Amino acid sequence: MRKIFLEYREFKEIFCISLRQNNLEIFDEKKIETFYRFTERLMEVNAVTNLTAIRNIPDVISKHLVDSLLAAKYLPEGARVLDLGCGPGFPSIPLAISRPDLKIVALDSTAKKIAFVQECIDLLNLASLTAIAGRAEDRNLSAKLGTFDVVVSRAVAKMSILSELCLPYVRVGGFLLALKAAKAEDELTEAKKAIRILGGGKTLLHQTQLIIQDGSSESRCLIEVPKANCTPSTYPRAYAVILKKPL
Ligand code: SAH
């Protein structure tokens, strides 16, 4: 018989406590069920192929689901969003479940992670989410440059590199939202020049705390970089060049 990872009732209780602790809205039953099925599938697949190092269910709920949802309040209604380096779907899948108004593209260079995201799209009927396997620097994605209202990205690269990967995809008037742990200021100082060259404007820092199940908390910083000007067409450069000659 198939092992149940957690009874739905238990999942719902832990998830709702975590949402409340973090001042997030409690979802309707249908959405909570979808979060349950997503988490169940993540745990099942993670048992045979490594998608995330976080395996304890309460931690998956706070550090993956709720952490991803911290970005939701910054996303305008109906926005076209790119999740660059989505891994197994963070933040894109929690955002797609909670905000069906968003049109989200999830991009990752690892085929196995994108295969998992695609499986979740089919399993959970996430019609507003599209998964693409590829690297942000790939020229075959150039038709998408400058087309997104918001590019979100969590745990992909330090700010100077992340800016070169992400800002070219943001339309002028939109913004990059980088989901970071603490100590974002140093990274940001280092990235100032890159941001300017890439067309970024005056950056906003949204500092917050992620409350964990056991009552402890971790610092989070959401860096919002508005796209003030077009990015020169030479960016993003090949990854080896980005690393060798950082802006
Ligand atoms: N955002 C997810 C995954 C973070 S791990 C989370 O927060 O859990 C970083 C991911 O970025 C990896 O899955 C890696 O494959 C992807 N990645 C790194 N560089 C990339 C690039 N240039 N283009 C696309 N994906 C990239």
Burial of 191 (0-12, 13-18, 19+ CB in 10 A): buried
pLDDT at 19: 97
Residue closest to 116 by CA, chosen among 4, 39, 34? 39
**In this predicted structure, what is the pLDDT of residue 184?**
86
User: Residue 229 C-alpha to ligand 1 middle, in angstroms?
Assistant: 26
pLDDT in tens, 88-137: 999 999 999 999 999 999 999 999 999 999 999 999 999 999 999 999 99
pLDDT at residue 4 greater than cutoff 70: no
pLDDT above 80 for 2:
no
Is the C-beta atom of 90 inside 6 A of ligand 1?
yes
221 occurs within a structural domain: yes
Burial of 18 (0-12, 13-18, 19+ CB in 10 A): buried
Q: Could you tell me the pLDDT band of residue 65, with boundaries at 50, 70 and 90?
A: very high
Mean pLDDT score of the chain, rounded to an integer?
95
In the chain, the number of structural domains is 1
CA–CA distance, 187 with 158 (Å, rounded to integer): 7
pLDDT of residue 185: 86
Q: How far apart are CA 142 and CA 92, in angstroms?
A: 21
In three-state secondary structure terms, 52 is coil
* 3 has pLDDT over 90: no
Query: Does a structural domain hold residue 5?
Result: no
Q: Is the CB of 113 under 6 A from ligand 1?
A: yes
Distance between Cα 28 and ligand 1 center (Å): 30
In a domain, 39, yes or no: no
Q: Look at residue 75 and give its three-state secondary structure.
A: coil
Q: What is the pLDDT of residues 147-204, one digit of tens each?
A: 999 999 999 999 999 999 999 999 999 999 999 997 788 899 999 999 999 999 999 9
3 state SS of 66: helix
- Stretch 8-24: mean pLDDT, rounded? 96
pLDDT of residue 189: 93
Ligand 1 centroid – CA 143 distance (Å): 21
User: Is 6 part of a structural domain of the chain?
Assistant: no
Helix (H, G, I), strand (E, B) or coil at 178: strand
Q: How far apart are CA 211 and CA 231, in angstroms?
A: 37
1 CA distance to ligand 1 middle (Å): 35
What's the whole-model pTM score?
Answer: 0.97
Answer yes or no: is 85 within a domain: yes
| Ramachandran area for residue 219 (φ above 0: left; ψ -120 to 50: alpha; else beta) | beta
Residue 108 lies in a domain: yes
Q: Mean pLDDT over residues 5-23, rounded?
A: 95
Q: Is the pLDDT of residue 225 over 70?
A: yes
Per-residue pLDDT band at 234 (split at 50, 70, 90): very high
Span 17-33, average pLDDT:
96
167 and 227 Cβ atoms separated by less than 8 Å: yes
Atom of ligand 1 nearest to the CA of 86: 1
- Which residues make Cβ contacts (< 8 Å) with residue 219, sequence separation at least 6? 181, 182, 207, 208, 209, 210
Structural domain harbouring 90: 62-244
104 closest CA partner among 123, 85, 78 = 78
Q: Tell me, what CATH number does 84's domain have?
A: 3.40.50.150
Task: Let me know if residue 18 belongs to a domain.
Answer: no
Average pLDDT over residues 202-209: 95
In a domain, 151, yes or no: yes
